[in-house]
Amino acid sequence: MKTYIVGNWKLNFTVGEASIYLHKLLKAMPNYRDIEVVVAPSTIALQPLSLQIDRHVMKLAAQNAFYRDFGAFTGEVSFSQLRSVVDYCIIGHSERRNILGESDKMVQKKVAAAIRNKITPILCVGELESERAFGETRDVIRDQLIGGLGEVSDDELDKVIIAYEPVWAISSTKGARAAGLEDISDAVILIREILDEVYGKGRAKDIPVLFGGSVNSSNAGAYLALPGVDGLLVGGASLILSEFVDIVKAAKRVRNE
Ligand code: 13P
């Protein structure tokens, strides 16, 4: 399995800024065959950047898309419109769940729509600080995972990537703190247990599970060295060229160890 380093640019950069940043990234990024580097710009930048990107070096992800292909859905962009523009789509990010009211049911439909349109969904799961405090972490992850994968058949499971992002560890969250290695390990094991439960024993080992939350070039190596962590979903640090490149280099070092 490759190691995935995914940069989620969130709502940052104009199209022009995104294009300049991508240009610099493409020049600075080492090309490792076993590391899949992905960047997720704003929707408006996807089309121009898809013409600019060198897909041998880096791939594009959308940060969101709508589950119906066409129709009266004012303001939405569909997976069918993004087909061949992006290779991946982040789905069910906590900012969409918590700020924009995205439900497990919507996430489920989006995961199905992504697969239908040959876009790899990166399904995000993760608990709030309050849910962790109430001891609900396992139930929240279970509900989000089973909910999100509700329309994914046995044959389709290997088209899915899971990302564990505890909301309390995301840098933009008030009072965010870095997740402990044990917390991440526990969550990654749990995610695989649930996948095995639903899809049959042994299926989960081939499904990439990423971690996200305050990742930077100093902690990336330690996170990636955890058994069962197959990559990172990077927010703030992906907007800083040297940081993002160093995270990719850290991934290569861990693979070579
Ligand atoms: P930070 O890396 O800024 O904590 O963001 C994490 C995230 O939400 C990536 O999707």
Whole-Å CA distances, 183 to 7, 41, 192, 256: 22, 29, 15, 25
Q: Report how far ligand 1's centroid is from the alpha carbon of 18 (Å).
A: 18
The pLDDT of residue 193: 96
Confidence of residue 4 (pLDDT cuts 50, 70, 90): very high
Sign of CA dihedral 135, 121, 188, 231: negative
Whole-Å CA distances, 154 to 38, 161, 199: 26, 14, 6
CB of residue 12 inside a 6 A radius of ligand 1 = no
Confidence of residue 257 (pLDDT cuts 50, 70, 90): confident
- The CATH homologous superfamily of the domain defined by 3-256: Aldolase class I (3.20.20.70)
CB-neighbour burial class of residue 57 (10 A; exposed 0-12, middle 13-18, buried 19+): middle
Bridge partners of residue 240, in order along the sequence: none
Q: Report how far ligand 1's centroid is from the alpha carbon of 232 (Å).
A: 10
Q: Report how far ligand 1's centroid is from the alpha carbon of 169 (Å).
A: 8
Choose among 205, 202, 195, 200: nearest CA to 148.
Answer: 195
Query: pLDDT digits over 182-219, tens only?
Result: 999 999 999 999 999 999 999 999 999 999 999 999 99
> Would residue 165 show up in a list of annotated catalytic residues for this protein?
yes
Bridge partners of residue 5, in order along the sequence: 37, 232
CB of residue 234 inside a 6 A radius of ligand 1 = yes
The pLDDT of residue 100: 95
Higher pLDDT, 172 or 30: 30
Amino acid symbol at 26:
L
Bridge partners of residue 162, in order along the sequence: 123, 209
Nearest protein CA to atom 9 of ligand 1, as residue: 235
Query: pLDDT digits over 104-127, tens only?
Result: 999 999 999 999 999 999 999 999
CB of residue 212 inside a 6 A radius of ligand 1 = yes
d(CA 76, CA 42): 13
> Would residue 151 show up in a list of annotated catalytic residues for this protein?
no
Q: Report how far ligand 1's centroid is from the alpha carbon of 123 (Å).
A: 14
Position in ligand 1 atom list of the atom nearest CA 90: 10
Position in ligand 1 atom list of the atom nearest CA 215: 2
Whole-Å CA distances, 239 to 40, 41, 80, 175: 11, 10, 28, 21
Bridge partners of residue 64, in order along the sequence: none
Nearest protein CA to atom 5 of ligand 1, as residue: 235
d(CA 237, CA 241): 8
Q: How many CA atoms lie within 13 A of 237 on its CB side?
A: 23
What distance separates the 2 farthest-apart alpha carbons in the chain?
A: 52
Each domain of the chain, given as residue ranges in start order, spans 3-256
Cα 227 to chain centroid distance, Å, stands at: 18
Q: Is the pLDDT of residue 252 over 90?
A: yes
Nearest protein CA to atom 2 of ligand 1, as residue: 235
Q: Quick one: tokens of 251?
A: 């991934």
